[in-house]
Amino acid sequence: MASEYTTTEYIQHHLTNATACMVDGEVAFNKACSEAGFWAVHVDTMAWSIGLGILFLYLFRRTAAKATTGVPSKGQAFVELVVDFVNDNVTSTFHGKSALIAPLALTIFVWVLLMNLMDLIPVDVIPSVSGWIGQVAFGMDPHDVYNKAVPTTDLNLTLALALGVFVLIIFYSIKMKGISGFAKELSLQPFNHWAFIPVNLVLELVTLFARPLSLALRLFGNLYASELIFILIATIGLWQLPLHFMWAVFHILVLPLQAFIFMMLTIVYLSLASEDH
Protein backbone atom coordinates (compact mmCIF):
# COMPACT_ATOMS: atom_id res chain seq x y z
CA MET A 1 0.00 0.00 0.00
CA ALA A 2 2.90 2.35 0.73
CA SER A 3 3.90 2.30 -2.95
CA GLU A 4 0.61 3.98 -3.91
CA TYR A 5 1.52 7.15 -2.01
CA THR A 6 4.47 9.39 -1.46
CA THR A 7 5.98 8.90 1.99
CA THR A 8 4.31 12.06 3.29
CA GLU A 9 0.90 11.11 1.87
CA TYR A 10 1.26 7.58 3.26
CA ILE A 11 1.98 8.84 6.78
CA GLN A 12 -0.79 11.42 6.65
CA HIS A 13 -3.31 8.86 5.42
CA HIS A 14 -2.51 6.44 8.24
CA LEU A 15 -2.63 9.16 10.90
CA THR A 16 -5.95 10.65 9.74
CA ASN A 17 -9.16 9.71 11.51
CA ALA A 18 -12.40 8.89 9.72
CA THR A 19 -14.42 11.99 10.61
CA ALA A 20 -18.15 12.74 10.42
CA CYS A 21 -19.87 16.07 10.98
CA MET A 22 -22.93 18.15 10.11
CA VAL A 23 -22.50 20.68 7.30
CA ASP A 24 -25.54 22.78 6.33
CA GLY A 25 -27.85 20.26 7.98
CA GLU A 26 -26.38 17.25 6.19
CA VAL A 27 -23.90 14.59 7.29
CA ALA A 28 -20.45 15.11 5.78
CA PHE A 29 -17.24 13.15 6.06
CA ASN A 30 -13.49 13.62 6.25
CA LYS A 31 -12.20 16.66 4.26
CA ALA A 32 -15.61 18.36 4.35
CA CYS A 33 -15.30 18.41 8.16
CA SER A 34 -12.05 20.41 8.27
CA GLU A 35 -13.86 23.49 9.65
CA ALA A 36 -16.39 21.68 11.84
CA GLY A 37 -14.11 21.86 14.89
CA PHE A 38 -15.64 20.54 18.10
CA TRP A 39 -18.71 19.18 16.36
CA ALA A 40 -16.74 16.70 14.24
CA VAL A 41 -16.75 13.08 15.46
CA HIS A 42 -13.91 10.63 14.90
CA VAL A 43 -16.00 7.67 13.81
CA ASP A 44 -13.15 5.14 13.83
CA THR A 45 -12.09 6.07 17.37
CA MET A 46 -15.67 5.77 18.61
CA ALA A 47 -16.26 2.46 16.83
CA TRP A 48 -13.04 0.76 17.89
CA SER A 49 -13.15 1.98 21.50
CA ILE A 50 -16.81 1.02 22.00
CA GLY A 51 -16.28 -2.30 20.21
CA LEU A 52 -13.28 -3.18 22.38
CA GLY A 53 -15.19 -2.13 25.49
CA ILE A 54 -18.03 -4.48 24.54
CA LEU A 55 -15.48 -7.24 23.87
CA PHE A 56 -14.02 -6.73 27.36
CA LEU A 57 -17.46 -6.91 28.99
CA TYR A 58 -18.46 -9.97 26.98
CA LEU A 59 -15.28 -11.96 27.71
CA PHE A 60 -15.23 -11.21 31.43
CA ARG A 61 -18.99 -11.71 31.85
CA ARG A 62 -18.85 -15.00 29.94
CA THR A 63 -15.91 -16.20 32.01
CA ALA A 64 -17.66 -15.23 35.25
CA ALA A 65 -20.82 -17.06 34.20
CA LYS A 66 -18.85 -20.25 33.50
CA ALA A 67 -16.54 -20.02 36.52
CA THR A 68 -16.16 -23.15 38.62
CA THR A 69 -14.68 -23.85 42.05
CA GLY A 70 -12.70 -26.81 40.73
CA VAL A 71 -9.77 -26.73 38.33
CA PRO A 72 -10.22 -23.50 36.36
CA SER A 73 -10.05 -23.31 32.59
CA LYS A 74 -7.28 -21.31 30.96
CA GLY A 75 -9.66 -18.41 30.35
CA GLN A 76 -10.88 -18.42 33.95
CA ALA A 77 -7.32 -18.65 35.26
CA PHE A 78 -6.29 -15.66 33.12
CA VAL A 79 -9.26 -13.55 34.24
CA GLU A 80 -8.64 -14.44 37.88
CA LEU A 81 -4.98 -13.50 37.46
CA VAL A 82 -5.92 -10.08 36.04
CA VAL A 83 -8.56 -9.46 38.73
CA ASP A 84 -6.16 -10.45 41.54
CA PHE A 85 -3.42 -8.26 40.04
CA VAL A 86 -5.70 -5.22 39.92
CA ASN A 87 -7.21 -5.92 43.34
CA ASP A 88 -3.75 -6.17 44.95
CA ASN A 89 -2.76 -2.80 43.51
CA VAL A 90 -6.01 -1.18 44.64
CA THR A 91 -5.69 -2.63 48.14
CA SER A 92 -2.11 -1.40 48.55
CA THR A 93 -2.68 2.04 47.00
CA PHE A 94 -6.23 3.22 47.74
CA HIS A 95 -6.52 4.06 51.43
CA GLY A 96 -10.21 4.91 51.53
CA LYS A 97 -13.30 2.72 51.30
CA SER A 98 -15.22 2.55 48.04
CA ALA A 99 -16.87 -0.27 46.12
CA LEU A 100 -16.28 1.65 42.88
CA ILE A 101 -12.47 1.84 42.78
CA ALA A 102 -11.60 -1.81 42.11
CA PRO A 103 -14.12 -2.27 39.23
CA LEU A 104 -13.06 1.11 37.84
CA ALA A 105 -9.38 0.15 37.96
CA LEU A 106 -10.08 -3.22 36.31
CA THR A 107 -12.11 -1.55 33.55
CA ILE A 108 -9.45 1.07 32.89
CA PHE A 109 -6.60 -1.45 32.82
CA VAL A 110 -8.21 -4.02 30.52
CA TRP A 111 -9.96 -1.50 28.24
CA VAL A 112 -6.86 0.66 27.73
CA LEU A 113 -4.76 -2.48 27.25
CA LEU A 114 -7.10 -3.78 24.52
CA MET A 115 -7.02 -0.43 22.74
CA ASN A 116 -3.22 -0.31 23.01
CA LEU A 117 -2.85 -3.84 21.62
CA MET A 118 -4.42 -2.69 18.36
CA ASP A 119 -1.04 -1.08 17.76
CA LEU A 120 0.43 -4.55 17.10
CA ILE A 121 -1.72 -5.11 14.00
CA PRO A 122 0.36 -4.36 10.86
CA VAL A 123 -0.37 -0.78 9.87
CA ASP A 124 -1.54 -1.59 6.32
CA VAL A 125 -4.06 -4.32 7.17
CA ILE A 126 -7.05 -2.33 8.45
CA PRO A 127 -6.61 0.72 6.11
CA SER A 128 -6.31 -1.63 3.09
CA VAL A 129 -9.39 -3.64 4.05
CA SER A 130 -11.33 -0.43 4.77
CA GLY A 131 -10.28 1.06 1.42
CA TRP A 132 -11.35 -2.09 -0.42
CA ILE A 133 -14.75 -2.11 1.32
CA GLY A 134 -15.23 1.58 0.57
CA GLN A 135 -14.40 1.03 -3.09
CA VAL A 136 -16.49 -2.11 -3.63
CA ALA A 137 -19.50 -1.30 -1.45
CA PHE A 138 -19.74 2.48 -1.80
CA GLY A 139 -17.75 3.33 -4.95
CA MET A 140 -15.29 5.48 -2.99
CA ASP A 141 -11.69 6.23 -3.84
CA PRO A 142 -9.61 4.09 -1.41
CA HIS A 143 -7.38 7.15 -0.84
CA ASP A 144 -10.39 8.90 0.72
CA VAL A 145 -11.18 6.06 3.13
CA TYR A 146 -9.61 6.44 6.57
CA ASN A 147 -9.58 4.06 9.51
CA LYS A 148 -7.15 4.64 12.36
CA ALA A 149 -7.57 1.54 14.48
CA VAL A 150 -5.63 2.49 17.63
CA PRO A 151 -8.07 4.60 19.70
CA THR A 152 -5.40 5.69 22.19
CA THR A 153 -3.52 7.51 19.40
CA ASP A 154 -6.45 9.95 19.36
CA LEU A 155 -6.07 12.76 21.90
CA ASN A 156 -9.87 13.13 22.01
CA LEU A 157 -10.22 9.67 23.53
CA THR A 158 -7.38 9.95 26.05
CA LEU A 159 -8.72 13.35 27.15
CA ALA A 160 -12.21 11.87 27.52
CA LEU A 161 -10.85 9.09 29.75
CA ALA A 162 -8.85 11.59 31.79
CA LEU A 163 -11.83 13.93 32.17
CA GLY A 164 -13.88 11.02 33.51
CA VAL A 165 -11.18 10.45 36.14
CA PHE A 166 -11.11 14.20 36.86
CA VAL A 167 -14.86 14.22 37.55
CA LEU A 168 -14.36 11.37 40.03
CA ILE A 169 -11.50 13.28 41.70
CA ILE A 170 -13.80 16.26 42.28
CA PHE A 171 -16.64 13.98 43.42
CA TYR A 172 -14.54 12.13 46.00
CA SER A 173 -12.91 15.34 47.20
CA ILE A 174 -16.29 16.91 47.93
CA LYS A 175 -17.77 13.66 49.28
CA MET A 176 -14.97 13.11 51.79
CA LYS A 177 -14.18 16.70 52.76
CA GLY A 178 -17.36 18.60 51.97
CA ILE A 179 -17.47 21.69 49.80
CA SER A 180 -15.94 23.87 52.52
CA GLY A 181 -13.22 21.32 53.27
CA PHE A 182 -12.34 21.02 49.58
CA ALA A 183 -12.23 24.82 49.29
CA LYS A 184 -9.94 25.02 52.33
CA GLU A 185 -7.68 22.36 50.86
CA LEU A 186 -7.28 24.47 47.71
CA SER A 187 -6.86 27.80 49.49
CA LEU A 188 -4.94 26.99 52.70
CA GLN A 189 -2.31 24.54 51.42
CA PRO A 190 0.66 24.49 51.45
CA PHE A 191 0.81 27.84 53.34
CA ASN A 192 -1.78 27.84 56.10
CA HIS A 193 -2.37 31.59 56.35
CA TRP A 194 -5.08 33.79 54.83
CA ALA A 195 -2.48 36.11 53.27
CA PHE A 196 -1.23 33.26 51.05
CA ILE A 197 -4.66 32.25 49.72
CA PRO A 198 -4.00 33.62 46.19
CA VAL A 199 -0.63 31.82 46.04
CA ASN A 200 -2.14 28.61 47.38
CA LEU A 201 -4.99 28.71 44.86
CA VAL A 202 -2.58 29.08 41.96
CA LEU A 203 -0.40 26.20 43.18
CA GLU A 204 -3.26 23.84 44.04
CA LEU A 205 -5.36 24.56 40.93
CA VAL A 206 -2.36 23.98 38.67
CA THR A 207 -1.72 20.68 40.45
CA LEU A 208 -5.39 19.71 40.23
CA PHE A 209 -5.75 20.41 36.50
CA ALA A 210 -2.35 18.92 35.69
CA ARG A 211 -3.56 15.49 36.81
CA PRO A 212 -6.05 14.78 33.99
CA LEU A 213 -3.87 16.61 31.49
CA SER A 214 -0.83 14.48 32.34
CA LEU A 215 -2.95 11.31 32.21
CA ALA A 216 -4.23 12.12 28.73
CA LEU A 217 -0.98 13.39 27.23
CA ARG A 218 1.18 10.56 28.61
CA LEU A 219 -1.00 7.83 27.09
CA PHE A 220 -1.56 9.71 23.84
CA GLY A 221 2.10 10.66 23.39
CA ASN A 222 3.44 7.15 23.91
CA LEU A 223 0.91 5.45 21.63
CA TYR A 224 1.03 8.12 18.91
CA ALA A 225 4.83 7.94 18.78
CA SER A 226 4.67 4.14 18.69
CA GLU A 227 2.18 4.12 15.82
CA LEU A 228 4.23 6.67 13.91
CA ILE A 229 7.33 4.48 14.19
CA PHE A 230 5.37 1.46 12.91
CA ILE A 231 4.23 3.57 9.95
CA LEU A 232 7.76 4.78 9.22
CA ILE A 233 9.02 1.19 9.33
CA ALA A 234 6.29 0.20 6.84
CA THR A 235 7.56 2.77 4.31
CA ILE A 236 10.81 0.86 3.69
CA GLY A 237 9.10 -2.04 1.91
CA LEU A 238 10.08 -5.70 2.34
CA TRP A 239 12.87 -4.80 4.74
CA GLN A 240 10.24 -3.78 7.26
CA LEU A 241 9.56 -7.33 8.52
CA PRO A 242 12.53 -7.79 10.90
CA LEU A 243 12.25 -4.20 12.14
CA HIS A 244 8.50 -4.53 12.61
CA PHE A 245 9.02 -7.75 14.56
CA MET A 246 11.64 -6.21 16.88
CA TRP A 247 9.54 -3.10 17.53
CA ALA A 248 6.43 -5.25 18.14
CA VAL A 249 8.31 -7.46 20.64
CA PHE A 250 9.46 -4.35 22.48
CA HIS A 251 5.87 -3.12 22.58
CA ILE A 252 4.60 -6.31 24.15
CA LEU A 253 6.15 -4.79 27.28
CA VAL A 254 5.36 -1.13 26.62
CA LEU A 255 1.64 -1.43 25.83
CA PRO A 256 0.63 -3.17 29.09
CA LEU A 257 2.91 -0.77 30.97
CA GLN A 258 1.01 2.26 29.64
CA ALA A 259 -2.31 0.71 30.67
CA PHE A 260 -0.86 -0.07 34.11
CA ILE A 261 0.43 3.49 34.56
CA PHE A 262 -2.96 4.98 33.62
CA MET A 263 -4.67 2.65 36.09
CA MET A 264 -2.20 3.30 38.92
CA LEU A 265 -2.28 7.08 38.55
CA THR A 266 -6.08 6.94 38.60
CA ILE A 267 -6.00 4.97 41.86
CA VAL A 268 -3.42 7.32 43.39
CA TYR A 269 -5.36 10.46 42.42
CA LEU A 270 -8.61 9.06 43.80
CA SER A 271 -6.83 7.95 46.98
CA LEU A 272 -5.50 11.48 47.48
CA ALA A 273 -8.95 12.90 46.84
CA SER A 274 -10.45 10.56 49.44
CA GLU A 275 -8.07 11.52 52.24
CA ASP A 276 -9.70 13.71 54.87
CA HIS A 277 -6.88 15.73 56.43
**Mind telling me the catalytic residues?**
214, 218, 222
Is there a cis peptide before residue 190, judged by omega within 30 degrees of 0? Answer: yes
**Per-position DSSP letters for 202-224, written without gaps between them:** HHHHHHHHHHHHHHHHHHHHHHH
CB 147 within 8 A of CB 127: yes
Closest Cα partner for 52 from 120, 133, 150, 134? 150
Helix (H) or strand (E) holding 136, with range, is helix 125-138
CA dihedral 48, 84, 169, 190 (to 10 degrees): -130
**For residues 202 and 192, what is the distance between their CA atoms, to the nearest angstrom?**
14
Distances (CA, A) of 87 to 166, 187, 239, 259, 266: 21, 34, 44, 15, 14
CB 33 within 8 A of CB 144: no
CA angle 57, 51, 86 (to 5 degrees): 40
